[in-house]
Amino acid sequence: MGHDNSHDDVSSHVKTYLKIGVTLIVFTVITVAISFIDFGGNNNMIVGMAVATFKASLVCLIFMHLNHERPLIYKVLVFTVVLAIVLFTLFISAHGDPLKDEGFEAPAVPVKTATAHH
């Protein structure tokens, strides 16, 4: 067999699958409920994404069997995860862009006045 799940193994996993399903539903309810509570600033986004990442991890580890896979799969996924993190980091860093700072769009006028005084 290519996979190391013997039939007995699988039957012992069935209960786990159901438990994970219930956990995912509970955390979906939590996600919806806490989105109606204001944590201030970006905290709602951080909390929401943390819960989503936790849920996604459960799906990956249990449903997609990444808790017991062959080494080659992990080698492929290391690249995926690293590249995805780089991608998101690049885009989230736009948060620090001065584009929305006050006066960013119209700096010309005060600069001109300053030079006129000198």
Partner 1 sequence: MEIPYTVTARPDTGLWNAKIGVWLFLASEVMLFGGLFSSYIFLRLGADYHWPVHVLNVPWGFINTLVLIGSSVTVVMAWASLKMRKWGAYKVYMAITIACALAFLWIKKNEYTDKVHHIAVKTKDGTIIEGHFPDHGKHWINFDNVTSIKLSTRESDPEYFLESCTTPSPKFTTPAGKTVSLDDAGLASIREEAGKEPSIDLKAATPLTFKVNNSPFPPFNTIRSYNDSMLSFKDGTVINGKLTDYKMTLQVTRVDVRDVADRSKSQAWTLMGAGWKEAFEHHEHQKLEHAKEHNPEADPYKNPDFVRHALTMEVHTAKPDPSHHAPEGVGELLQSFKDTLFSHAEHNGPVITLDPKKDIAFWSNWLPKWNTYFAIYFTLTGLHGLHVLAGAIVLTWFLVVDTKRFKNDPEHLANRVETGGLFWHFVDLVWIFLFPLLYLL
What's the distance, CA 35 to chain centroid?
A: 16
Q: How far is CA 78 from CA 57, 73, 82, 107, in A?
A: 15, 9, 6, 45
Task: Select 99 or 108, whichever has its Cβ closest to partner 1.
Answer: 99
Task: Select 7 or 112, whichever has its Cβ closest to partner 1.
Answer: 7
Q: How far is CA 105 from CA 92, 93, 98, 108, in A?
A: 21, 20, 10, 9
Min separation Cβ 109 and partner 1, Å: 21
Structural contact between residues 56 and 28, judged by C-beta atoms closer than 8 angstroms: no
Min separation Cβ 112 and partner 1, Å: 26
Min separation Cβ 84 and partner 1, Å: 5
Min separation Cβ 116 and partner 1, Å: 32
Site of interaction with partner 1 (CB under 8 A): 1-3, 5, 7, 10-11, 13-14, 17-18, 20-21, 24-25, 28, 31-33, 35-38, 40, 44-45, 48-49, 51-52, 55-56, 59-60, 63-64, 70-73, 76-77, 79-80, 83-84, 87-88, 90-92, 94-95, 97, 99
Distance from C-alpha of 49 to C-alpha of 111, rounded to nearest angstrom: 42
